A and B are shown apart, each in its own frame.
Chain A
Amino acid sequence: MTSLPPFVLFFVGALVVALTKGAVRKAVVLGVPLVGLGSLWMGAGQDVAASGPQLLYQLELIGYTLTPFRADKLSLLFGYLFHIAAFLGFVYALHLGDGAPDGSVAEDVGEDDVVGNGTATLQHVAAMLYAGSALGAVFAGDFITLFVFWELLAITSVFLIWARDSERSYATGFRYLIIHVVSGVLLLSAALMIAHRTGSIEFGAVPLQGAAGWILLLSFGIKAGFPLVHNWITEAYPESTPTGTVFLSAFTTKVAVYALARSFAGADPLIYIGTAMTFFPIFYAVLENDLRRVLGYSMINQIGFMVAGIGIGTAMAVNGAVAHAFADVIFKGLLFMSMGAVMTMTGRTKGTDLGGLYKTMPITATLCIFGAAAISAFPLFSAFVTKSMIMVAAVDEHHYIVWLFMLFASAGVLEHAGIKIPYFAFFAHDSGIRTKEPPKNMLVAMSIGAVLCVLIGVFPGQLYALLPFEMDYHPYDTYHVVTQMQLLVFGALGFITLVKSGIYPDEKRAVHIDAEVLYRRLGPWLVRTVGGAVARVDAAVRASVMGVVGSVLGAADRSHGQMGPLARSWPSGSMVLWVAILLAAYLLFYLWEFGL
């Protein structure tokens, strides 16, 4: 039994969502991911299990073969994941269009923080198309199809940013769009070169040599948030609506991780790029006050583990990378959902504006802690059974320094995501905000996410069975559990000591300095110097690039703008003069070529 390409259902669903309202629409947005998941599991999933990879709906285009639906274990895993993520996202966003949630205090906050709910239709349609595009991309069997969905991902998701409906979200969305369109053009360029060299546009492994390989890597890298091209993540995600960010965090970067796993498994540079990604965002995350932006940095950090795993390239490492992607979508989604709930109810996401919310939002607080435990890789939670595969693979392949950096980064995760997020939002000093629990659908979505985090952590076998490569791995042996518990317990212990002794007057500064001292034994000055230096270099590079861009645009405007010499209407005499000049120039040139 074969099934339609998964994106078709979502695109049709988007159309239906656009045309319906109320209960019907709610049924559609929940039904599409569930039906899609079922048909994928029963259709292509069973076929792959029975008879290996499937190439479906192939067609010819100017001598090349397009494959809109390639099902194998790798693409299926991401296919299932995206269906689940879409379902969670839609459950979470189900209340959109029902008016402001009961008990929200968004009215009395500053102009800057007012939550734009956007229009429900726009967000649902965009999210539906966006999820469909992500599915189209992971099931694409050739670079042209991939390119189409690659660009669609950008075009559909930007509406989730614009749905915030503010000046700033508009500008942010535009920059986001440009970056992603550039990534798509790079992808197409690389595809053209690959087609020229090999005569095939199959989306498969690409050797990292020659311009084609590197351009392709850059294209994927932009979407994956490689260092220096990562800014779109931390800029755009906090600008989206509370519900939009949940979708954004699930798809784009994971499609990039999939593409990297498909084309560049075992490419050495990825190990170091990934390792860099695991630790550099930590410096930014500790300095950051907007909790959703902290999660953005945390996202880069998690993707770093996946990228490094793909770079290591052994069966265990790649399995670990894709499994971690699977877990990450759920626990990062859960964290974004909990922050979105806070934002929906209070209109704020800044650490300094929040605190003490556990009194009025105890369920949200509990669920957020589940997500925090999962991202910190506590045993019995999802990241523990996935991230450890990458770490083990690093040791197996003798990448000890890489392993050390990852360990440092893991501790950083605990600090900036595992403790900082729930602590500042729900505990710390009491901000005096009294609100209610978010709408039920949000609580349901978060609960499902929390349950999944635990299920994966407790029964990893189910997830392992879906992984693309055969392997024999048991996360719950003494060594793993003890190492991880040491890391976590000492980190947490330090934090508790500080809280009890009341050392920090200003929570923002105190936490990042003191926690660093405790579990990394680095002086606070080091964090400031390193963080500051990185930020300064980053700012300088950006300022100079913007300067160059500005002057180029100025020059272009002068020559090509409305009244510039290239754009204005010319008098007839000057036109004819050009003819004469060209005639003379050609004559000279041709006679010269002719040998006079």
Chain B
Amino acid sequence: MSEHLPALLVVVPLILAPVAALSNRPRAAFAAAFAGCWWALYASLALLTRVRSEGVISYALGGWAPPYGIELRLDLVNAFVAVTVATIGAVVIPYAWTSVKKEITEDRIPLFYTAFLLMLSGLLGITVTGDVFNVFVFLEISSLSAYSMIALGQDRRALTATFQYLIMGSVGATFIVIGIGFMYVMTGTLNMADLAERLPAVMDNRTIPVAFTFLTVGITLKLALFPLHLWLPNAYTYAPSAVTAFMASTATKVSVYLLLRFFFTIFGFAFAFGQMRLNMVLMPLSLVAILAMSLVAIYEINVKRLLAFSSVAQIGYMVLGISFGSVLGVTAGLLHIFNHALMKGALFMAMGCVMYRVGSVQLSKMAGLGKKMPWTMAAFVGGGLSLIGVPLTVGFISKWYLVQAALEQGNWLVAGLVMIGSLMALVYIWKVVEVAYFQEADSDVEIREAPLSLLIPTWVLVIASFWFGIDASTTAQVATDAAELLLRGGS
């Protein structure tokens, strides 16, 4: 079985999805989703271990040899991303059971788990596939299931948010498929490795920069790089809590992976950064994302929306790292994919706990919560410390690499701006802390601590965000190796 693991990683959750739908009972659907998520975690960890010891895994789907058949291809980069996605899935799913019961009407719960499984398999599919058209297919699977999950939100505004995300997501996916189409026209192949080999021969054709353009816009839209982030805040705000926690920690991260895969592996570092000077586009946009979106977060009074804007800023950090086009920079970007998934997952899950007990995440409703929900708010502070980048948290590790990457290129300005971004994170996290801990609560409202079934998964992520902040050797090593792999251009 183990040689089929790359396929099974995606296929098992994919098959469990209809099982969940057909069972039509919340408990059975949950069991299917739970099994799918933990299977994915096991499989992705096993694959990462194998990639680390044996190198690249190539799996020919259905026995059709690449480049004619569809190839699943795992190297350090996507194995790392797959583990990130699967980890978050495995932590969020037990959390979802309690959270969803409160936020979604019962008859739709089986559909929720179906969509969750579909989204998971879609994201994993994008990650492991070695075929660009396959990327598009899985992208649509994950996006469509994401739209349906957001639409399950209690707030009626969830529907408009979904609709806007649908439009924007489809535009992005279309752009990506147009880019892929142009490349196919020029080279006659859809296999990533094959494309990387054949593209140099046709690089002087004007079609290639056009394909490059469509891909840039499509992918940066999907990963919500400023100013194409406009779909994100409302989608995250009005989605059910478990969905927000899962999406915020995985969907945009996978898109960041796509950015790396397309521009480093397929087009190659030399073309993307040398000739097209991608960094000239990515760096200013990511800096604006960091500063402007952090500033918006400072003024925001809905905490979920605040965290959503903070996510756009954090995506800025990832893209900023990548835009340095150096091993250190890409390492910082990759590390932040994993690290941000941990911290933002924890933060959104803490907000899910608040939603569960208080029924709102407006800042004004959170007065005195530090006393009434001590564990929830402590988790928020823990995740917040990471977001700020305090030493001994994962956030510190990411920022450290990022600033080192900036200093390596003598880019003092960027290093300074990263520090300012951290200060701004301090302000918007403090804003919540201040209300929760220093304002008196309304005494007439009875609020208890969130149930353990919500707290335990939340704290797993909080503890992980400290654990990997103290012992960063494994993650840093994997990320550095992956970055070197990407910059060598091959896989």
Binding site for B on A (CB under 8 A): 60-62, 144, 147-148, 151, 181-182, 185, 188-189, 192-193, 195-196, 211, 556-557, 560-562, 564, 566-567, 569-570, 572, 574-576, 578-579, 582-583, 586-587, 589-591, 593-594
Contacts and interface: CB of A to CB of B under 8 A. Distances in A.
Given A61-B470, A578-B227, A579-B221, A556 B295 contact: yes
A144 B391 contact: yes
Interface in B3-33: none
15 contacts: A62-B472, A62-B473, A62-B476, A148-B390, A185-B423, A192-B403, A193-B415, A196-B404, A560-B292, A567-B300, A572-B163, A574-B230, A590-B212, A590-B276, A593-B277
A575 B473 CA distance: 41
A362 to B, nearest CB: 42
A569 B390 CA distance: 32
A590 B213 contact: yes
A586 to B, nearest CB: 5
B166 to A, nearest CB: 9
Contacts of A575: 164, 167-168, 230-231
B299 A562 contact: yes
Contacts of B167: 572, 575-576
B419 A188 contact: yes
Contact of B228 (A211, A582, A589, A591): A582
User: Main secondary structure on chain A at its contact with chain B?
Assistant: helix
A185 B422 contact: yes
B416 interface: yes
Interface of B: 163-164, 167-168, 171-172, 175, 206, 209-210, 212-214, 216-217, 220-221, 227-228, 230-231, 233-234, 275-277, 280-281, 292-293, 295-296, 298-301, 309, 390-392, 397, 400-401, 403-404, 407-408, 412, 415-416, 419, 422-423, 426, 470, 472-473, 476
A556 B300 CA distance: 13
A578 B225 CA distance: 12
B213 A583 contact: yes
Given A148-B391, A562-B301, A579-B171, A594 B407 contact: no
Contacts of A594: 206, 209, 275-276
A193 B171 CA distance: 43
A182 B422 CA distance: 11
Nearest to B164: A572
B276 A564 contact: no
Contacts of A576: 167-168, 171
A185 B473 CA distance: 25
Nearest to B205: A594
B171 A567 contact: no
Contacts of B404: 192, 195-196
Of B220, B296, B416, B426, most buried by chain A (CB within 10 Å of CB) is B296
Given A148-B391, A192-B415, 7 more contacts: A185-B423, A196-B404, A211-B412, A583-B213, A586-B213, A590-B213, A594-B209
A562 B276 CA distance: 37
A582 B419 CA distance: 28
B39 to A, nearest CB: 32
A560 B403 contact: no
B411 to A, nearest CB: 11
Contacts of B213: 583, 586-587, 590
B400 A62 contact: yes
B168 A582 contact: no
A567 B301 CA distance: 11
Contacts of A560: 292, 295-296, 298-299
B477 to A, nearest CB: 10
What 3 pairs across the A-B complex have the smallest Cβ distances?
Answer: A196-B407, A560-B295, A590-B209
A579 B231 CA distance: 12
A327 to B, nearest CB: 34
Given A185-B419, A594-B206, A570 B228 contact: no
A114 to B, nearest CB: 21
A61 B300 CA distance: 35
B233 A569 contact: yes
Contacts of B280: 589
A350 B419 CA distance: 42
Contact of A582 (B227, B407, B412): B227
A189 B281 contact: no
A578 B230 contact: yes
Nearest to B434: A174
A181 B227 contact: no
Of B175, B221, B391, B408, most buried by chain A (CB within 10 Å of CB) is B391
A181 B209 contact: no
A593 B295 contact: no
A147 B293 CA distance: 27
A181 to B, nearest CB: 7
A482 B309 CA distance: 69
A591 B206 contact: yes
Contact of A564 (B216, B299, B391, B408): B299
A562 B306 CA distance: 11
